[in-house]
Every structure is written in structure tokens, then in C-alpha cells.
């Protein structure tokens, strides 16, 4: 028999390489290649052109029933999913350890069970007693969730199939997929081969039985645990649970969704009684806002169709010439910051090149909305000139390298949210229309904003 070929699998992205390398050629992560047994050895007898059965092909105009949805009753969770869990689907929830994935899913499991569905929660990380204690602390002690601490996929599948007198389960949580192992594969739990093989079996169970299955996946920065990225293409929906452990709020974001959009988010706050829903996120992010301080600007970010007001904070420190200035960013893209700084310097004549620049999005929020450019620019100008932006103003707009302020999507939605929270002026791209309760100032070029803020207009 031919000797099995060695193969090395990147624990971050799942790419396979036939020799060990320090850096994965696919995703660029370092020290993530680990030797794993080859999953399948193909030979001539695996000739796929023989022995197949003919498929019954269908047409596009047939009526298919909409997949059945299962609301978990936590509105922020259902919203991120695009309207609840879909029967027969697989959902992956990824996030840093300790961010609250188990808490959120236990709360969802409890609600769904109380609504009369058959719910199974499998923990591979905690003992059943631990999960039970947590459930009791969350006020879910009486929810009819069937609980087990297990890691063998074979045992789990046998249990699920026989559950409820053979009726099976409607909703299954696997916490976490990295602790599961399939005895078909030699590799250790947590390796790419194991995680993939275990997930494959569990997902197949969901498709066959019509249960909605949720796989919890830890994300680690150093790539020592197989990342959820290797599973993203296998599941129907991928949710990312984000936030800083030092802050109480959490955001649940759909990254991929076969049954809905990926632009809605759910906002939660971690408290004594688990994760609470935050129906009005803007008020959460602005509670500790520093008013009339140079460098602080309120930006109306848009998450899907939902505006969220966040505070952008900038600090600049002029250095004695010669020293290399530091640039540090929390919550925004550092490349984007460099671009805004360059535009301020080249198009508006602000000599920021020699200054240290710190940028922070308050509350640990991570901004991805391109309309933040103008808010960041305003915060930088304000910090640099030590002139505060009026406390009742919000700022938004995209910047081009030429220093032009570009229009952005949904300006009216952003302005309305600001008006609702008591803001009375909106600084943004030229041509936007005002909404009730808020006056607008439009800028065609960044230089006009600089002139206004420095009193040069
Ligand atoms: P957990 O759900 O275990 O995180 P994950 O499954 O993502 O690893 O929760 C992590 C943290 O949440 C833990 O440090 C304790 C905290 N927590 C609360 O603050 N309040 C609560 O009611 C619960 C259950 C947890
Ligand atoms: Mg957990």
C-alpha cells in the first residue's frame, strides 16, 4: 500500500499544504500549519462516473414552501438572523472566548423550549451542573431544555435521533464545535480535520431531520484552535458575536446568511442577568460622552437599516521635530485613518505629519461605515486646533483622496435618529436634505469644514 502522504493544514483557514511552512500561503497567518492525517485516499475504485442514480430534475417555477422559521423571542437575536432560526439549517456563532456566546445561546434555548419546541443543549466545555447553575441564575431553571455534557459526535447523533421518543429535536446547540470529535478521524479535537468532520455530521443531521442546529465556535487570534473560518462555507448562516470584554455591550452581526440579509445587527448588554436586549443602542454609546471637549465628535453610523450614534474621539500631540510620531487606532481601520490624515495635510494644509495621533471609538464599538471619514476628520481638526465641535452636532460623510466630501447612503435616517436624541445640527455632504428638528450644513470639500471649524469662513 502506498504510504499516506503527509499533509499540513492551516488551523486558521483550512488550506492544505504538502510541506510545512512557517506562514500559510493562503491566509498569511504565521505558525498555523499543523500536520494532520489525510482525510480520504482516492483510488481507481472510487470512479464517480459509474454506479450513480439519475436525479429527478426540477423546474424553477414550481411552488416551494418558505422554510419554517423559529423565533427565539429575543428580538435582537431574531433581527440579526433576519427573522429567527430556519428549520433544517445550520448556524455558526463565532466570537472570542468569554464574550458571552454560551450565555446568549442558553437564553435562546430556554426561550425556545418554553415556547414548546424540543430543545437539546450539548456542552463540550462545561459540566451539565455548570450549565444548569447558569440557567438558574438566568432565570431559566424551569425551561424544558434537555442538557448533556458530551463531545463524541457519534453519541450526540444517537441521542438526538432517539430524543423525545424518536421525534428528534427542533433546536440543537453544540457548544463548542472545537470540543467535538468524530471517531472517523484520527486528529485531535480542535484541529481543522476534526472540526470539519464533526460539523459535517452535525449539519447533515440538521438537514435530514429538519432541526435548526447552532454551532458555537471560538475565534482565537493566534490560530491555535481551528478558526470558524474553515466552517463558514459549510453552514447556512454565520453570526459574529463582537464586543470588548471590558465593556458591557455586545453586537451580534450576520456575516453570511442564506435566508436573509447580512446588514442587520442585534445589540446586547451583558449584565447580572445575562445578556439584555438594547433596543436603543445610541443612548448606550453616548451615555458617558464628553461634551465641549476638543476631539470629540458624534457620528451617526448605520448598521443595516438601523442608525447607531457613536462618539469618535481624537487626540493629537505635537512632537518636537525628529521623533517618529505614533498613530494608534481603536475601533477603526488604521489605513483609513492614514488616508484622512494625508487628505488633511495635502488638501487642507494642516501640518499633522509631525503630530502623534490617537483615535478611539467610544464604548469599544468597531466602525465599518465609510461615512465615518468626515466625523474622524472633524475629530482630528478639533483635537489639533483645540476647538470643540458643537455638542449638538453630528458629523458624517465619505472622503475622497481629492478632498471631496461624498454623499452617503440613508442620510435622512441618520439625521432622524440624531434629531430623536436631541441633536439639532447635522454636518454632512452637500446636497442632503434637512429633516424635522435638525438643521443641516453641507460640505462639498473637506477644506470647507476646516474653514468653518477654524473660523476662517
Ligand atoms: P460565556 O457565555 O461563558 O462566554 P463564551 O461562551 O463566549 O466563552 O460568558 C462569559 C462571561 O460573561 C463570563 O466572564 C461571565 C459573564 N456573565 C455575566 O456577566 N453575567 C451573566 O449573567 C453570565 C451568565 C455571564
Ligand atoms: Mg462558552
Range scoring the smallest mean pLDDT among 199-213, 265-279, 374-388, 441-455: 265-279
Helix (H), strand (E), coil (C) string for 372-384: HHHHHHHHHHHHH
Q: Is the pLDDT of residue 139 over 70?
A: yes
DSSP 8-state secondary structure symbol assigned to residue 248: S
In the numeric block, the cell 492544505 is attached to: 16
52 alpha carbon – ligand 2 mean position (Å): 43
Each residue of 342-365: pLDDT tens digit?
A: 999 999 999 888 899 999 998 778
Q: Whose CA is nearest to atom 14 of ligand 1?
A: 98
3 alpha carbon – ligand 2 mean position (Å): 40
Cα-Cα-Cα-Cα torsion 143, 147, 153, 158, nearest 10 degrees, comes to -90
Higher pLDDT, 297 or 251: 297
pLDDT of residue 59: 86
What CA–CA distance (Å, rounded) separates 333 from 92?
A: 26
Q: Whose CA is nearest to atom 17 of ligand 1?
A: 274
What CA–CA distance (Å, rounded) separates 116 from 104?
A: 19
Give me the phi and psi of 44, to 5 degrees please.
-60, -30
For the record, the C-alpha cell of 219 comes out as 475565534
| Backbone angle region of 341, left / alpha / beta, with phi > 0 → left and psi within -120 to 50 → alpha | alpha
What CA–CA distance (Å, rounded) separates 420 from 312?
A: 19
Give me the phi and psi of 413, to 5 degrees please.
-60, -45
What CA–CA distance (Å, rounded) separates 264 from 190?
A: 30
Range scoring the smallest mean pLDDT among 146-160, 168-182, 233-247, 438-452: 233-247
Calculate the alpha carbon distances from 262 to 50, 94, 237, 249, 357 in Å: 41, 15, 9, 20, 33
Q: Is the pLDDT of residue 224 over 50?
A: no
- Average pLDDT, whole number, for the chain? 88
Q: Please calculate the CA angle 266-270-222 and round it to the nearest 5 degrees.
A: 80
Give me the phi and psi of 425, to 5 degrees please.
-140, 145
Q: Is the pLDDT of residue 55 over 70?
A: yes
Counting Cα atoms < 13 Å in the Cβ hemisphere of 5 gives 12
Residue 86 banded pLDDT, cuts 50, 70, 90: very high
Residue list, ligand 1 pocket, CB within 6 Å: 95, 97-103, 134, 137-138, 270, 272-274
Nearest-ligand number for the alpha carbon of 96: 1
Residue 116 banded pLDDT, cuts 50, 70, 90: very high
| Closest ligand 1 atom, residue 176 Cα | 6
Nearest-ligand number for the alpha carbon of 125: 2
Each residue of 308-318: pLDDT tens digit?
A: 899 999 999 98
Residue 396 banded pLDDT, cuts 50, 70, 90: very high
Each residue of 412-452: pLDDT tens digit?
A: 989 998 998 889 999 999 999 888 899 999 999 999 999 99
Probe ligand 1: pick from 122, 134, 244, 270, max atoms within 8 Å of CB?
270
Amino acid at each position: 500500500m502506498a504510504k499516506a502522504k503527509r499533509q499540513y493544514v492551516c488551523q486558521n483557514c483550512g488550506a492544505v499544504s504538502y510541506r510545512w511552512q512557517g506562514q500559510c500561503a493562503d491566509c498569511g497567518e504565521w505558525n498555523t500549519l499543523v500536520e494532520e492525517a489525510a482525510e480520504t485516499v482516492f483510488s481507481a475504485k472510487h470512479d464517480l462516473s459509474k454506479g450513480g442514480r439519475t436525479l429527478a430534475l426540477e423546474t424553477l417555477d414550481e411552488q416551494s414552501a418558505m422554510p419554517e422559521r423559529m423565533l427565539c423571542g429575543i428580538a435582537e437575536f431574531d433581527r440579526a438572523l433576519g427573522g429567527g432560526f430556519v428549520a433544517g439549517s445550520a448556524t455558526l456563532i463565532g466570537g472570542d472566548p468569554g464574550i458571552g456566546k454560551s450565555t446568549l445561546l442558553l437564553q435562546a434555548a430556554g426561550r425556545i423550549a418554553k415556547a414548546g419546541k424540543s430543545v437539546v443543549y450539548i456542552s463540550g466545555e462545561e459540566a451539565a451542573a455548570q450549565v444548569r447553575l447558569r440557567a438558574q441564575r438566568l432565570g431559566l431553571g424551569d425551561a424544558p431544555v434537555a442538557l448533556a455534557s458530551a463531545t463524541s459526535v457519534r453519541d450526540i447523533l444517537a441521542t438526538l435521533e432517539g430524543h423525545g421518543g424518536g421525534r428528534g429535536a427542533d433546536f440543537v446547540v453544540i457548544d463548542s464545535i472545537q470540543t467535538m470529535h468524530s471517531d472517523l478521524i484520527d486528529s485531535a479535537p480542535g484541529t481543522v480535520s476534526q472540526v470539519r468532520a464533526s460539523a459535517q455530521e452535525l449539519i447533515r443531521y440538521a438537514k435530514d431531520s429538519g432541526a435548526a442546529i447552532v454551532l458555537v465556535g471560538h475565534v482565537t487570534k493566534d490560530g491555535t484552535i481551528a478558526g470558524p473560518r474553515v466552517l463558514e462555507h459549510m453552514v447556512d448562516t454565520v453570526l459574529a458575536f463582537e464586543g470588548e470584554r471590558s465593556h458591557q455591550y455586545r453586537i451580534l452581526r450576520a456575516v453570511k446568511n442564506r435566508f436573509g440579509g447580512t446588514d442587520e445587527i442585534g445589540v446586547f448588554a451583558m449584565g447580572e442577568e445575562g445578556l439584555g436586549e438594547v433596543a436603543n443602542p445610541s443612548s448606550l454609546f453616548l451615555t458617558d460622552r464628553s461634551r465641549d471637549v476638543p476631539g470629540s465628535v458624534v457620528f451617526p453610523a448605520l448598521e443595516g437599516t438601523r442608525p447607531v450614534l457613536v462618539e469618535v474621539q481624537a487626540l493629537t500631540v505635537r512632537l518636537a521635530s525628529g521623533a517618529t510620531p505614533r498613530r494608534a487606532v481603536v475601533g477603526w481601520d488604521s489605513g483609513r485613518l492614514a488616508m484622512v490624515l494625508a487628505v488633511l495635510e495635502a488638501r487642507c494644509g494642516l501640518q499633522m505629519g509631525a503630530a502623534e495621533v490617537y483615535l478611539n471609538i467610544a464604548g469599544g464599538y468597531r466602525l465599518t461605515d465609510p461615512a465615518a471619514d468626515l466625523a474622524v476628520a472633524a475629530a482630528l481638526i478639533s483635537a489639533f486646533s483645540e476647538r470643540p465641535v458643537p455638542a449638538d452636532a453630528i458629523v458624517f460623510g465619505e472622503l475622497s483622496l481629492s478632498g471631496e466630501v461624498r454623499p452617503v447612503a440613508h442620510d435622512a435616517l441618520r439625521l432622524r435618529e440624531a434629531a430623536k436624541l436631541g441633536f439639532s445640527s447635522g454636518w454632512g455632504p452637500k446636497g442632503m436634505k434637512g429633516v424635522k428638528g435638525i438643521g443641516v450644513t453641507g460640505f462639498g470639500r473637506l477644506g470647507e469644514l476646516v474653514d468653518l471649524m477654524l473660523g476662517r469662513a
